[in-house]
């Protein structure tokens, strides 16, 4: 019997090429997403309570994702007709219209992303993949089946990546509400003694290796 290879994309890798079926029709990923930031999140199964709360939670953040230019896509190994029926159920019972596409992944696609947990049968783990406009994997989060995700953190992380890329800075813990420097951003550390000696003359900071500024 041929053994399936389970791969987990690393940060900075190209997002694996996938031709997929979705509730909005066929898609080629990441090709169809080129030029946009994107969030692909997997869920264990349709018609399950935690996953339903997550779908509603992600939909409630759609305005923020769109404002950031981020495309949101769901995914599980359920067949597309199951996705369609579940999305209809959410609209009918919870009065929430799911506007993002949902991928019907097969085992090959799920294995490309390390989504199938060997000890959990055929259900997929709760994974979040953030990709940049070049199709590079920039952030990966994995949650167990029992724990629902925090949508605010997904939004925050994408926003932080965009700020970091656009300004050549780092962002602190809990940004933009850090308990030391608030919504300020961190200057990359000095790379030589001359820069280190001048750093505190140019920026606010605690030391030459910990300087920050307004965004």
> Residue 88 to residues 71, 72, 91, 154: CA-CA distances in angstroms?
21, 18, 5, 25
> Six-digit token pair at 2?
């041929």
| Residue tagged active-site, from 51, 116, 125, 186 | 51
Give the span between the Cα atoms of 43 and 131, in whole angstroms: 18
Report yes or no: 125 and 117 within 8 Å, Cβ to Cβ. Answer: yes
Give ∠ CA 160-65-8 in degrees, rounded to 5.
Answer: 65
pLDDT at 186 over 70: yes
Give the β-pairing of 102-104 and 70-76. parallel
Summarize pLDDT for 62-78 with one digit per residue, the tens: 999 999 999 999 998 88
Catalytic, 51? Answer yes
140: phi then psi, degrees, rounded to nearest 5: -135, 130
Say how far apart CA 145 and CA 126 lie, in whole Å: 6
The 10 Å Cβ neighbour count of residue 167 is 12
Distance from C-alpha of 212 to C-alpha of 215, rounded to nearest angstrom: 9
Q: How does the average pLDDT of the chain come out, rounded?
A: 91
> What's the rounded Cα separation, in Å, for the pair 65 and 128?
14
Write down all domains in the chain, each with its CATH number in brackets. 18-148 (3.40.30.10), 168-215 (3.30.1020.10)
199 is in an annotated binding site: no
pLDDT > 70 in the chain, percent: 93
pLDDT at 1: 35
Quick: pLDDT tens for 82-107.
999 999 999 999 999 999 999 998 87
Residue 158: other Cβ atoms inside 10 A: 25
pLDDT range class, residue 111, cuts 50, 70, 90: confident
Residues forming beta bridges with residue 72, ordered by sequence position: 39
């Amino acid at each position: 019997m041929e053994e399936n290879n389970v791969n987990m994309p690393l940060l900075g890798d190209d997002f694996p090429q996938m031709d997929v079926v979705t509730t909005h029709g066929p898609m080629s990923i990441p090709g169809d997403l080129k030029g946009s930031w994107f969030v692909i999140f997997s869920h264990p199964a349709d018609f399950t309570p935690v996953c339903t709360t997550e779908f509603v939670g992600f939909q409630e953040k759609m305005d923020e994702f769109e404002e950031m230019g981020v495309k949101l896509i769901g995914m599980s190994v359920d067949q597309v007709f199951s996705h369609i029926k579940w999305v209809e159920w959410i609209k009918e019972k919870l009065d929430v219209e799911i506007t993002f596409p949902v991928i019907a992944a097969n085992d090959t696609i799920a294995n490309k992303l390390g989504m199938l947990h060997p000890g959990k049968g055929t259900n997929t783990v709760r994974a979040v993949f953030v990709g940049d406009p070049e199709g590079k994997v920039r952030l990966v989060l994995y949650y167990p089946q029992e724990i629902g995700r925090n949508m605010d953190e997904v939004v925050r992380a994408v926003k932080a990546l965009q700020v970091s890329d656009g300004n050549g800075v780092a962002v602190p813990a809990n940004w933009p509400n850090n308990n030391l420097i608030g919504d300020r951003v961190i200057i990359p550390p000095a790379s030589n003694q001359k820069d280190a000696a001048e750093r505190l003359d140019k920026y606010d900071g605690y030391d030459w290796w910990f300087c920050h500024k307004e965004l």
